[in-house]
Amino acid sequence: MAADQIHIKDLLLRTIIGVNEEERHNKQDVVINITLYTDHTAAAASDDIADTVNYKTIAKQTIKLVEESQFYLVEKMALEIVKLCLADPRVERAVVMVEKPGALRFGRSVGATIDRTRAELGLPGKLA
């Protein structure tokens, strides 16, 4: 597996998320961090966006997914974002952290991280 990475850090979005009644009616902030494992060899040689995973595309797809969702758990949201990332066959592994700032009275945030490879999700590609 390639050790090269693309990072999308601190994507701040608003969505319906949570299990409590109030959370089902009022949008909350979520902070999303994504790490994509891919091979940068071709892109580094060519200096051409066509030879890499376009992080702007991944970010736009993530924004659409999250803003239109109504998940109960941050774990489910993180898994769905991982699946979105792995839809690009050049992404070998995706690590997604979703946090809910202020979810705990005395804590800055609460979150979950999902780390999956193409093979773990049964997707075709280099690792399948």
Q: Give catalytic residue positions.
A: 100
Residues 6+ apart with CB under 8 A from 118: 86, 89, 91, 92, 93, 124, 125, 126, 127, 128
The DSSP secondary-structure symbol of 102 reads T
Q: How far apart are CA 28 and CA 42, in angstroms?
A: 40
Look up residue 74 and give its amino acid. Answer: V
As a 3-state breakdown, the chain gives helix, strand, coil percent values, each rounded to 5, of 35, 30, 35
Query: Measured on CA atoms in the order 105, 106, 109, 114, is the torsion positive or negative?
Result: negative
